[in-house]
Amino acid sequence: MADLLLRGARVIDPFQGLDEVLDVAVSRGRVSEVGKGLSGEGREVLEAEGLVLSPGFLDMHVHLRDPGREDEETLESGLEAAVRGGFTAVCCMPNTDPPLDNAPLVEDLVLRARGLGLADLFPVGCVTRGREGKELAEMGLMFASAARVRAFSDDGDPVVDSGLMRRALQYVRRFGGVIISHPEDVSLSRGGQVNEGRVSFALGLRSIPALAEEVMVARDLLLAEETGARLHLAHLSTAGSVRLLREAKARGVRVTAEATPHHLVLSELDIRDYDPVYKVNPPLRTPEDVKELRRALADGTLDAVATDHAPHSPEEKEREFDYAPFGVVGMESAFPVLYTQLVEKGELGLPVLIERLTLGPARALGLEPPDYGEGVRPGARADLVLLDTVTEWVIDASAFASRGKNCPFHGWKVRGRVVLTIKGGKVVYRAPDYRWSREQGEKVRERT
């Protein structure tokens, strides 16, 4: 593992409150020096002037399909996609086959991930055994296991039984865990394909009302308030949910929440010609909902951006709209899409976006050093991402490391590109059309 010097990058580190042009040296897996005018002697020098260096991102909501559907994603392809997207840590959801509802299963997953040496893996354990919604899973044993599971969810489905959800919240409070809610009242959403509104009417597709999400958000906020447990709301999509969240935070409820890039950027108006690449759950909502989600992300009501990365095989996703599965891939397109649509348009500062991809999800999960979040400081584990926010490029889903190519942003012209990802001091991703010289530290940027 060669010593590195990243020279002259704008270092944005939400963990240290740092935003300054600096040199950063990496040695033996850790950040060894941070300062100005550091020597490049004996180091591979990467001239990073004009680039942005930040802690590696944390995606708290991905579906890696492993075990059970390795035709759609494997642990290796999913973690390779993560580091290409700048994520050095990801949380995988438990709706696998079999579901992640016991300690041996999550321990095996973590051990296999460590063997790959790409991104850290933090499995999310099931709330209920087998995700059947009947009895609690072995949450305490998963927390006490070598996998140290901190978050629990039946994501993909809600915990319908309110009494069971209440007991789950009471239980995880004992050891500081967090319940991730998939807020959906299936009695209101069952059979729906798109948002209830002008598009469902125009296309003649069965609809999912905003109320299907908001009813469950309200229930889980009340349960969290009553139990005092930590609750995280996944993939919020409506202005009504944001209002409920904002009011609950004002009352002191221990709640955090995320939004996805596709809900922050796309609306129901993007659904054209029954293209199933836009079929997601919760569905794409109205432009007014998108506007409110963006406002909430900017003011901190929403704590994190999470991709809800959901790969599907082409044979399944390209069925006609009614029969195609919900979900899009997102790890390799998240930063460029958010940078282009939110930062370049002046709706969000770059430091805020980076905070929502690093510190925000870490706080939501209760992740602290040494597991995640050491930042860019001497002695910290070198989990870093280098970003080019200038060069324009086109997203090509066919070139993704993920086995899933179901990306609604394929073909989009964007800025904000991951050019280098470092995990534990090791370069785990280097953009193929960037090259740095060892001798002079001269950066050579070539289009290939």
CA distances from 125 to 115, 142, 169, 398, 438 (A): 21, 7, 14, 31, 44
- For residue 144, count other CB atoms closer than 10 A to its CB: 13
- For residue 226, count other CB atoms closer than 10 A to its CB: 12
Residues in the chain: 448
Active site residue 308: yes
Residues 6+ apart with CB under 8 A from 42: 3
Angle between helices 103-116 and 75-84 (to 10 degrees): 50
Catalytic site residue from 308, 322, 371, 433: 308
Q: Which two tokens stand for residue 126?
A: 């099931």
Q: Which of 7, 2, 4 is nearest to 37 (CA)?
A: 7
Cβ pair 24, 31 in contact under 8 A: yes
Q: Which of 145, 103, 128 is nearest to 182 (CA)?
A: 128
DSSP string, 265-290: H--GGG--TT-GGG--SSPP--HHHH
Q: Which of 413, 423, 365, 415 is nearest to 391 (CA)?
A: 415
Residues acting as catalytic residues:
308
